[in-house]
Structure 1
Amino acid sequence: MNNPENPTVVIVPGLRDHVADHWQTHLAEKLPNTRTVPPLEHDKLSRDARVAALDRVVADIAGPIVIVAHSAGVMITVHWAQRHTRAIRGALLATPPDFESRLPDGYPAPDDLSRNGWLPTPRELLPFPSIVAASTNDPLARLAQVAEMARDWGSRLVHLGAVGHLNPASGYGLWPRAEEFVRELARTYEDAAH
């Protein structure tokens, strides 16, 4: 069983799955106790398959958990939270996409997302503390839309500035603030427990 002060960090990538120079990959390599939701072989656009993959990873962990989700990984996490009751210390939800608006070329269209179970985006209060890290120039979501999602989820909204989609294409590789947010979420839970 894990030390309560050292939760397992569960990395939830977006629809592009594992990307070698992504900040989530660097974080998983740096932190001592991480698990990454593995890529799907089939049904890659299926919300149910993605949520089930996250649930399998979470179910295999005995101790406390902090979730670190990026992009569509945020949507996987909020859909998962609607149907599962496993206690989570907290979640870092970085640059969630606005699946209800048309995404740039190369990303799924709203009809494809709807057909595969992603829409509507859950807006219920999350059952765990969370931080939404938002970009002012994210091509996948307007800041105002991300702020609304954060409010509905009960998340603390952090403005990162102009960081694009916070991915290698936007220059993020390493993102040291992710570690700060993970530590904050672990402390928030510990403070609430005392």
Structure 2
Amino acid sequence: MIDHQASPRVLTLPGWLGSGPGHWQSRWEAAHGATRVQQHDWQRPLRGDWTARLQDVLLAQPAPVLLAAHSLGCLLLAWWAAHSRETARVAGALLVAPPEIERADLRQQIPGWAPPARQRLPFPALVMASSDDPYARLDYARQLAQDWGAGWQDGGARGHLNADSGLGDWPEGWQALRALAATPAAS
């Protein structure tokens, strides 16, 4: 049974190549005690391996949990949710800067991830994307949010919403994630 009164633990799901020390995910780990889902190979991401690792880490946490995904981590989250029987353990998910993995250049760099899972997520979720993200058009990210049944927030012109975007500790993102814990799940 999930204790919905407990403060949810936050798991970060970095994208391809991981998140460096200046990335908001790394800063949240240091400042708020979030736990990184550490993948075995950040350079050659295998969807099945990454999904199994997320499942293992999630099961090792007391429920409920909040998921904070960036870039390829968003696609991992959606794929995991489409196949796991443990989605009820998730109180909410923030999906930041999902990549347009169906683009030829990204498909070639990161094979095996296209097409992304597009089913409705079974927990409250919010997608945030930038209008000038080099890895995805804004309308693509907005369509993913719609497909996933997630809320939508335009992050402005801030690139890939990573360390290069100058977000620092990104308190707005942290507040958005925490607010998801109070959002009732869709039935």
TM norm structure 2: 0.89
Contact 2:100–2:136 at 8 Å: present in 1 too? yes
Moved over 4 A (4+): none
CA distance in 2, matches of 1:113, 1:163: 23
Contact 1:4–1:63 at 8 Å: present in 2 too? no
Counterpart residue number, 1:101: 103
Question: What are the residue-to-residue correspondences of 1:115-130 with 2, within 5 Å?
Answer: 117-130=112-125
Number of positions where the alignment pairs a residue of Structure 1 with one of Structure 2: 183
SS at structure 1 position matched to 2:183: helix
User: Structure 2: which amino acid aligns with 1:172?
Assistant: L
Contact 1:2–1:8 at 8 Å: present in 2 too? no
Measured after TM superposition, the shift of residue 99 of structure 1 is 0.3
SS at structure 2 position matched to 1:89: strand
Structure 1: gaps spanning 5 or more residues:
104-108
Question: RMSD value over aligned CA atoms?
Answer: 2.1
User: Structure 1: which amino acid aligns with 2:12?
Assistant: I
Match of 1:92 among 68, 78, 94: 94
SS at structure 2 position matched to 1:26: helix
Contact 2:133–2:158 at 8 Å: present in 1 too? yes
Cα deviations across residues 127-153 of structure 1 (Å, max 9, x unaligned)?
111000111110000001111110000
Measured after TM superposition, the shift of residue 85 of structure 1 is 2.0
Counterpart residue number, 1:106: none
Q: Do structure 1's residue 135 and structure 2's residue 155 form an aligned pair?
A: no
TM norm structure 1: 0.86
Counterpart residue number, 2:25: 24
Contact 1:130–1:155 at 8 Å: present in 2 too? yes
Question: What are the residue-to-residue correspondences of 1:52-71 with 2, within 5 Å?
Answer: 52-71=52-71
Measured after TM superposition, the shift of residue 95 of structure 1 is 0.7
User: Structure 2: which amino acid aligns with 1:132?
Assistant: V
Counterpart residue number, 1:77: 77
User: Structure 2: which amino acid aligns with 1:18?
Assistant: S
Counterpart residue number, 1:184: 179
CA distance in 1, matches of 2:99, 2:17: 13
